[in-house]
A and B are shown apart, each in its own frame.
Chain A
Amino acid sequence: KAGVTQTPRYLIKTRGQQVTLSCSPISGHRSVSWYQQTPGQGLQFLFEYFSETQRNKGNFPGRFSGRQFSNSRSEMNVSTLELGDSALYLCASSLDGQPYNEQFFGPGTRLTVL
């Protein structure tokens, strides 16, 4: 069974631009969660999607948004990029997003904002 894939793996943008990251979950998984990882803040939860609906959201500004498609693939978008948005963005898929099931993480997308 193929794992979680994220594209692109690396991305360089400049301040003020916007970016879209993509995540393909494991086949059959309907829940996709997004995390931001930085050296200073560690791993922080962004949001979770289940059956095309945002089910949970972390404490991030509205510049961070996402969506999920009918095939469970998910995208996250960051608008008006700031230098502080430079981070590793991780996507995790789960069968149904319930806490009694494990999450499977992708390799991440490394975003650098100049």
Chain B
Amino acid sequence: DAKTTQPNSMESNEEEPVHLPCNHSTISGTDYIHWYRQLPSQGPEYVIHGLTSNVNNRMASLAIAEDRKSSTLILHRATLRDAAVYYCILYNTNAGKSTFGDGTTLTVKP
């Protein structure tokens, strides 16, 4: 299975943009890149996903490198409620299962 690598932790100031990186150098052509986040004592929450092109939704933007070996989740204006563990996941079309990375713990400072 293709694996993802994320920094263990990152800090951000409130109302500033946050760029969360993810490396997936062994990604296959059928792997979708998903991002989820998890708050304490809750199940993961879907954030965004993409295959090749950059994606935007109301929560965040996803920038995918041209060679697809890395991606960046962008939170445009971090709020205290964005403090969570962010997981970058490869979801394979053929195998149909998700491979979770270790996640990045995002701390947002007021």
Question: Which A residues form the contact surface with B (CB < 8 A)?
Answer: 4, 33, 35, 42-45, 48, 55-56, 58, 90, 92, 97-100, 102-108
* Contacts A43-B100, A48-B96 known; 7 new A-B pairs at CB < 8 A: A44-B100, A45-B97, A100-B32, A102-B46, A103-B34, A105-B43, A107-B42
Count contacts on B: residues with CB < 8 A to the other chain: 25
CB distance from A43 to the nearest CB of B (A): 4
Question: Are B43 and A106 in contact (CB-based, < 8 A)?
Answer: yes
A56–B1 alpha-carbon span in the complex (Å) = 13
Q: Which of A44, A55, A106 lies in contact with B96, CB distance below 8 A? A: A55
Contacts of A108 in B (CB 8 A): 43
Q: Which of B44, B96, B103 lies in contact with A105, CB distance below 8 A? A: B44
What are 7 contact pairs spanning A and B, CB under 8 A? Answer: A33-B97, A45-B97, A45-B98, A45-B99, A92-B43, A99-B96, A107-B42
Question: Are B44 and A42 in contact (CB-based, < 8 A)?
Answer: no
Contacts of A92 in B (CB 8 A): 43-44
Question: Are A104 and B46 in contact (CB-based, < 8 A)?
Answer: yes
Question: Are A42 and B100 in contact (CB-based, < 8 A)?
Answer: yes
Contacts of B49 in A (CB 8 A): 99-100, 102
CB distance from B79 to the nearest CB of A (A): 21
CB distance from A56 to the nearest CB of B (A): 4
CB distance from B6 to the nearest CB of A (A): 11
**Interface digits, B72-110 against A, CB 8 Å rule (1 contact, 0 not)?**
000000000000000100011101111111110000000
Contacts of A102 in B (CB 8 A): 34, 46, 49
A44–B43 alpha-carbon span in the complex (Å) = 13
**Interface digits, B19-51 against A, CB 8 Å rule (1 contact, 0 not)?**
000000000001110101000001111100101
Chain B residue nearest to A47 (CB atoms) is B97
A102–B98 alpha-carbon span in the complex (Å) = 11
Contacts of A48 in B (CB 8 A): 96-97
A44–B102 alpha-carbon span in the complex (Å) = 10
A62–B98 alpha-carbon span in the complex (Å) = 20
Question: Are B44 and A90 in contact (CB-based, < 8 A)?
Answer: yes
A48–B29 alpha-carbon span in the complex (Å) = 22
